[in-house]
């Protein structure tokens, strides 16, 4: 490792630079609450269909049940993933990944780096893949997955997904044992720590997740998202329909954190979300196929939807940019 | 013919550790078998397996397989010549299509015109690609995957292939990858491609230049030796973990590390679980077996800065242990008893209710079992029925604790610790702790009688419920671990000498579910258990025919079965066996043919009827049978099956004579019925021990 370990933001910048050089589009995080960067449309939707795609982005992820009111040095209800999506997965995907570690200042000849079997399955996304978690001296710092199925559809070609756990990685690089002690940035001797940015947020959000979240509201919101998603699917609008499933999924996670879901209910919620994502994936794939394999061009879809003028997050660039 | 060595290496991205060694062996065996089917004769086959390669080395493989004669068949002879013995157009046409003159054709075994050609055997190079593909296809791998844009499927992406026949690289193409001249060594120690001189040099080149120990067994013993050396105190190396670590390294380097001794206040099982299961590290212990605050990790690299790696390992272990310590302290703030209501919220199975329901059933079943086995329990002062029932009451409560939620494998063990902390008796705690044993095939059983009894009740309840809910395992899928549960039942009953008939206890366990279970499904459980029983004995070297004979009767009364099996084994060693086995087969065939027509009641063997030539032999058998029947029944009733058999063996002579001199299927109805009746009685006397007709008849013994 280098003498001066990288700050959190340097880690992020280096990863972005490195993957940009590998031809990845640096799309930005999705502005919806989600449990993993896999939910980002640039991962989930873009791994459908046949078109090639390479992107990278940081994504804030929320896992309400993992919150510890900011008291645990290793557990957070909000943390960052750095996501790399390579479609089709290149033959040298593992060497590419190892070089990214070198770019972060990790000497791969001096550290014990291991690809440990870890297969992935997401019932809500109707997805599974095979791959590994990557261990850096025993610590899991990344997940590595070859998507085989997404939204219930076979992935052809296969997308390779690399997900760095940025906090873990930074802790390894900076050699700290407490996530709140991570140096986020350093400028003219002035240091900003992870604690300064997120400690209070962890405490308050944990209080919301575990104690305050209104379970009736959440259950209702889930139902509404489900209805809205179906309605949008009928209007041939897979992109906004998909966003409803992301919101629904987060509502479920919050309900779970409040222990408001029994075992059987739990299964039912998962199945309901899964039904939606499968329908979205099917419609999205059809509409992509109609537009000649270019996911950017939504063809006939969404004519009535643009009128609202709302500044909708662009999972794909807006139609105007496509040409 | 010239022979050379063949080396085939499939380079892949990191393979799943649990299957690795078996995959290497299966690949080599399949490749060798394919050449063998072609008629090749060759030397030794050696398998290799590392995380990034499967390989096989076949020594002294000839360049060419043996010549073969191929036969192409044409029309039948009748169609080939007309009444003037002139060739028909069909014959001439066939000859033409063969490009041969009619005179060159021959006649096949089934009288058809045919073309025989002697063909040179195929060369190694010609067959190699097909054989590699078939061997890979046949690997006993779980899920396969695709990668990139291609349609090929394998366990993990294939990145290089090396196929050397002697010094020659075979130009095969495997799963979309063209074989080259090079292998690849360790990722970090040898980043550049590595040329290999010839098949025999491969292993050594990889080791000396590539930093890869390719042979699984060699790597494994290298790891064991290194860990031993690195450990302060004694390293605790389970076979399973040693296998797993071997499957995760190509160039192992053991590194000793430590954790804060204050964590030693945690149960040893927790520390071991954190180290072994989470991190694949080896725990260490002192001479008395007490854990030490150190562990040995095996890196897959010889680092210039091993202290960096050690610090990393320690940094991972510490928070896990402090998490566990936190759980341990938090969990103990509440008693197990107070957690019982929570079990109502944890599903056992969607059709079968919650763990609270299971607990109620377990208490009942354990109580019933304790009553049945009261005598047995009385012999063991460590156990009382009350302890067993109390343990049944509490044994599932640890599933509601944070510790078991985090470390499910510690179910039961943790409950035992918490029970002691709650002030439960040692006996109750030990029973809770032992109730999930054995954890794996061949693992330890619960030490106390109460623990074993509860363990048995738990398995019986699960088997009855899950099977009764229509979830009998099919194929390799066994999500509820019923195979393991069944095997555990067999071992507990046999090793703890529990005298009970499992057929009854399946029914009792099923009763606990009230009307929830499907009778048709539950009826399949005895057969399923019988399979586990057979598996148990076969694994321990029992002969299949002895097992078939003994399990034909009351197979689910295990102690009884065990005694009868021993008697059958003894019987098979006797000189009289051959003819008695044949006699039993003969009797069974006669009875089978006679079928239900002559039903049992009608067959009571009266005194021999008639006065034919066979009368003497018949009445002799009658007498011999009558003299021995009650003695056999008496001995069998006391499970002295050896004694019973020794008595039955005396019937050999009269039976043989009977068959020699008496015609069973007499024209005379009465005579026939009476003879069949006698045979039926004899048959049923034998079959209170085993169905001897299922034994393999030894032709050699017949003469005796």
For residue A28, count other CB atoms closer than 10 A to its CB.
Answer: 12
Minimal C-alpha gap between B156 and chain A (Å): 8
pLDDT of residue A305: 39
pLDDT of residue B210: 96
Q: Please check whether residue B176 touches A, CB under 8 A.
A: no
pLDDT in tens, B283-321: 999 999 999 999 999 999 999 999 999 999 999 999 899
pLDDT in tens, B227-279: 999 999 999 999 999 999 999 999 999 999 999 999 999 999 999 999 999 89
- Domains annotated on chain B, with CATH: 3-65+123-208 (3.30.70), 68-119 (no CATH), 216-325 (no CATH), 338-541 (1.10.3210), 562-702 (no CATH)
Q: Which segment, A3-7, A110-114, B681-685, is predicted with the most confidence on average?
A: A110-114
Question: Coil, helix or strand for B188?
Answer: coil
pLDDT of residue B326: 86
Q: Judged by CB atoms within 8 Å, which residues 155-174 of A form the interface with B?
A: 155-158, 160, 171-172
Give the model's confidence band at B100: pLDDT under 50 very low, under 70 low, under 90 confident, else very high.
Answer: confident
pLDDT in tens, B429-450: 999 999 999 988 888 898 888 8
Q: Please check whether residue A115 touches B, CB under 8 A.
A: yes
Look at residue A298 and tell me whether its pLDDT is greater than 50.
no
Retrieve residue B512's tokens. Answer: 């606990």
What are residue A136's DSSP bridge partners?
Answer: A113, A139
Question: Coil, helix or strand for B136?
Answer: helix
List CB contacts of A93: < 8 A, sequence separation 6 or more. Answer: A86, A160, A162
Judge if ipTM > 0.90: no
Between A55 and B655, where is the model more confident? A55
Nearest to A136 among B13, B156, B312 (CB): B312
CATH fold of A8-209 = BirA Bifunctional Protein; domain 2 (3.30.930)
Query: Order of strands, edge to edge, in the sheet holding B158-165?
Result: B45-50, B53-62, B3-12, B158-165, B168-169
Residues of A in contact with B400 (CB under 8 A): none
Give me the helix-helix angle, B577-594 and B669-686, nearest 10°: 130
Helix ranges, B422-481 (H): 426-434, 449-468
Give the model's confidence band at B654: pLDDT under 50 very low, under 70 low, under 90 confident, else very high.
Answer: confident
Helix ranges, A165-237 (H): 166-174, 194-206, 215-234
The DSSP 8-state label assigned to residue B478 in this structure reads -
Residues of A in contact with B145 (CB under 8 A): 129-130, 146, 148, 158
Q: How far are the Cα atoms of A33, A46, A121, B523 from residue A244, in angstroms, in the given order?
A: 11, 17, 21, 48
Q: Which residue of A has its CA nearest to B311?
A: A137
Give the model's confidence band at A310: pLDDT under 50 very low, under 70 low, under 90 confident, else very high.
Answer: very low
Strands A153-154 and A160-165: unpaired
Whether residues B309 and A111 touch (CB distance < 8 A) is answered with: yes
Residues of A in contact with B248 (CB under 8 A): 114, 116
Which residue bears the tokens 């399955």? Answer: A121
Sign of CA dihedral B395, B400, B401, B406: positive
Span A196-212, average pLDDT: 95
pLDDT of residue A104: 94
- Mutation to test the A interface, candidates B315, B323, B343, B353, most A Cβ within 10 Å: B315
Start-to-end CA span in chain B (Å)? 50
- Domain covering A214-297 assigned CATH 1.10.8.50 in the classification: no
Look at residue B598 and tell me whether its pLDDT is greater than 70.
no
Q: Which segment, A183-197, B339-353, B372-386, B644-658, is predicted with the most confidence on average?
A: A183-197
- Could you tell me where in chain A the CATH 3.30.930.10 domains are found? 8-209
For residues B241 and B283, give the distance between their C-alpha atoms in angstroms, rounded to a whole number. 11
Minimal C-alpha gap between A303 and chain B (Å): 34
Among the residue ranges A95-99, A171-175, A304-308, B278-282, the one predicted with the least confidence is A304-308
pLDDT of residue B469: 87
- What is the secondary structure of B224-285 as a DSSP string? HHHHHHH-SSEE---HHHHHHHHTT-SS-EEEEEE--GGGGGS-HHHHHIIIIIIH-PEEEE
For residues A182 and B53, give the distance between their C-alpha atoms in angstroms, rounded to a whole number. 39
Q: How far are the Cα atoms of A13, A25, A104 from residue A16, in angstroms, in the given order?
A: 5, 10, 11
For residue B281, count other CB atoms closer than 10 A to its CB.
Answer: 27
Look at residue B71 and tell me whether its pLDDT is greater than 70.
yes
- What is the secondary structure of B556-614 as a DSSP string? TBHHHHHHHHHHHHHHHTSTTHHHHHHHHHHHHHHHHHHTTTS-GGGG---SPPS--TT
Spatial contact of B546 and B537, defined as CB atoms under 8 Å apart: no
Question: Coil, helix or strand for B683?
Answer: helix
For residue B332, count other CB atoms closer than 10 A to its CB.
Answer: 15
Single out the residue of B133, B127, B131, B125 nearest to residue B176, CA to CA. Answer: B133
Look at residue B612 and tell me whether its pLDDT is greater than 70.
no
- What is the secondary structure of B19-68 as a DSSP string? GHHHHHHHHHHHHHHHHHHTT-----EEEEEETTEEEEEEEEEESBPPPE
- Could you tell me where in chain A the CATH 1.20.58.180 domains are found? 214-297
pLDDT of residue A264: 65
- Mutation to test the B interface, candidates A137, A156, A167, most B Cβ within 10 Å: A137
For residues B177 and B183, give the distance between their C-alpha atoms in angstroms, rounded to a whole number. 13
Whether residues A130 and B156 touch (CB distance < 8 A) is answered with: yes
Q: Please check whether residue B177 touches A, CB under 8 A.
A: no
């Amino acid at each position: 490792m280098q003498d001066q370990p990288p700050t959190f933001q340097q880690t992020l910048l280096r990863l972005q630079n490195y993957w940009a050089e590998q031809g990845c589009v640096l799309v930005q995080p999705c502005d919806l609450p989600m449990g993993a960067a896999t939910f980002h449309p640039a991962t989930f939707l873009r791994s459908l269909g046949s078109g090639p795609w390479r992107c990278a982005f940081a994504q804030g992820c929320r896992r309400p049940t993992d919150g510890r009111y900011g008291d645990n040095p290793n557990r957070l209800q909000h943390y960052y993933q750095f996501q790399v999506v390579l479609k089709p997965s290149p033959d040298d995907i593992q060497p590419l990944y190892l070089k990214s570690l070198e770019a972060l200042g990790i000497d791969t000849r001096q550290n014990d780096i291991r690809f440990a079997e870890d297969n992935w399955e997401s019932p809500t996304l109707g997805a599974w893949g095979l791959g590994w978690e990557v261990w850096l001296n025993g610590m899991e710092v990344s997940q590595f997955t070859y998507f085989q199925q997404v939204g219930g559809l076979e992935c052809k070609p296969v997308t390779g997904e690399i997900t760095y756990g940025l906090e873990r990685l930074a802790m390894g690089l900076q050699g700290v044992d407490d996530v709140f002690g991570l140096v986020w940035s350093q400028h003219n001797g002035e240091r900003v720590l992870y604690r300064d940015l997120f400690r209070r947020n962890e405490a308050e959000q944990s209080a919301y997740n575990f104690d305050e979240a209104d379970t009736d509201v959440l259950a209702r919101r889930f139902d509404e998202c489900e209805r809205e998603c179906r309605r949008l699917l009928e209007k041939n609008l897979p992109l906004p329909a998909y966003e409803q499933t992301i919101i629904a999924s987060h509502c479920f996670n919050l309900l779970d954190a409040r222990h408001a879901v029994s075992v059987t209910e739990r299964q039912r919620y998962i199945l309901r979300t899964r039904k939606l994502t499968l329908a979205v994936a099917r419609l999205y794939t059809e509409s992509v196929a109609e537009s000649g394999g270019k996911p950017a061009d939504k063809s006939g879809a969404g004519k009535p939807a643009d009128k609202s003028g709302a500044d909708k997050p662009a999972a794909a660039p807006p139609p105007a940019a496509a040409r | 013919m010239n022979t050379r060595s063949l080396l085939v290496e499939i380079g892949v991205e990191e393979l799943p550790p649990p299957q690795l060694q078996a995959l290497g062996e299966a690949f080599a065996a399949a490749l060798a078998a394919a050449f063998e089917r072609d008629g090749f004769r060759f030397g030794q086959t050696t398998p290799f397996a590392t995380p990034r390669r499967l390989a096989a080395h076949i020594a002294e493989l000839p360049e060419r397989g043996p010549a073969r004669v191929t036969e192409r068949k044409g029309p039948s002879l009748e169609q080939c010549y007309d009444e003037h013995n002139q060739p028909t157009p069909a014959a001439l046409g066939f000859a033409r299509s063969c490009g041969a003159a009619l005179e060159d054709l021959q006649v096949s075994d089934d009288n058809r015109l045919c073309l025989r050609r002697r063909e040179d055997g195929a060369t190694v190079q010609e067959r190699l690609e097909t054989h590699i593909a078939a061997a890979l296809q046949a690997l006993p791998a779980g899920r396969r995957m695709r990668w990139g844009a291609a349609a090929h499927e394998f366990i993990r992406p294939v990145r290089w292939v090396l196929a050397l026949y002697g010094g020659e690289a075979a130009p095969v193409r495997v799963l979309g990858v063209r074989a080259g001249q090079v292998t690849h060594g360790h990722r970090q120690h040898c980043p550049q491609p590595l040329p290999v001189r010839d098949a025999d040099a491969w292993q050594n080149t990889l080791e000396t230049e590539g930093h890869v120990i390719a042979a699984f067994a060699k790597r494994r013993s290298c790891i064991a030796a290194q860990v031993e050396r690195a450990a302060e105190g004694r390293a605790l190396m389970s076979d399973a973990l040693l296998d797993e670590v071997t499957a995760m390294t190509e160039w192992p380097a053991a590194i000793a590390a430590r954790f804060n001794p204050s964590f030693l206040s945690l149960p040893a099982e927790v520390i071991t679980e954190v180290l072994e299961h989470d991190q694949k590290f080896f725990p260490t212990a002192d001479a008395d077996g007490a854990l030490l605050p150190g562990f040995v990790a095996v890196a897959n690299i010889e680092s210039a800065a091993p202290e960096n790696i050690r610090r990393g390992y320690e940094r991972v272990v510490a928070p896990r242990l402090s998490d566990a310590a936190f759980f341990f302290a938090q969990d103990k703030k509440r008693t197990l008893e107070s957690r019982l209501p929570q079990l109502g919220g944890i599903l056992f199975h969607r059709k079968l209710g919650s763990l609270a329901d299971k607990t109620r059933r377990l208490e009942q079943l354990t109580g019933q079992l304790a009553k049945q086995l009261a005598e047995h329990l009385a012999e063991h002062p460590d156990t009382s029925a009350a302890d067993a029932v109390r343990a049944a009451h509490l044994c599932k409560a640890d599933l509601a604790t944070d510790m078991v939620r985090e470390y499910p494998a510690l179910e039961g063990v943790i409950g035992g610790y918490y029970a002691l902390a709650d002030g439960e008796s040692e006996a109750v705690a030990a029973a809770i702790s032992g109730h999930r044993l054995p954890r794996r095939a061949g693992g330890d059983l619960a030490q106390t009688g109460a623990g074993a009894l509860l363990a048995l009740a738990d398995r019986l309840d699960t088997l009855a419920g899950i099977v009764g809910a229509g979830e009998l395992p099919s194929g390799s899928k066994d999500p509820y671990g019923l195979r393991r549960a069944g095997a555990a039942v067999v071992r507990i009953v046999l090793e703890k000498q529990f005298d009970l008939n499992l057929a009854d206890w399946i029914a009792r366990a099923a009763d606990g579910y009230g009307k929830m279970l499907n009778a048709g499904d539950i009826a399949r459980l005895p057969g399923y258990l019988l399979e586990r029983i057979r598996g148990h004995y076969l694994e321990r070297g029992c002969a299949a025919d002895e097992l078939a004979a003994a399990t034909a009767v009351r197979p689910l009364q295990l102690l009884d079965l065990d005694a009868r099996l021993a008697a059958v084994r003894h019987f098979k060693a006797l000189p009289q066996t051959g003819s008695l086995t044949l006699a039993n087969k003969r009797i069974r065939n006669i009875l089978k043919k006679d079928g239900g027509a002559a039903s049992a009641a009608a067959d009571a063997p009266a005194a021999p009827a008639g006065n034919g030539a066979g009368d003497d032999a018949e009445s002799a058998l009658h007498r011999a049978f009558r003299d021995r029947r009650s003695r056999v029944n008496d001995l069998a009733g006391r499970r002295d099956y050896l004694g019973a058999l020794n008595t039955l063996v005396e019937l050999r002579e009269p039976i043989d004579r009977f068959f020699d001199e008496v015609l069973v299927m007499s024209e005379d109805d009465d005579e026939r019925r009476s003879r069949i009746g006698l045979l039926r009685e004899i048959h049923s006397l034998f079959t209170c021990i085993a169905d001897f007709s299922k034994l393999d008849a030894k032709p050699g013994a017949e003469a005796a």
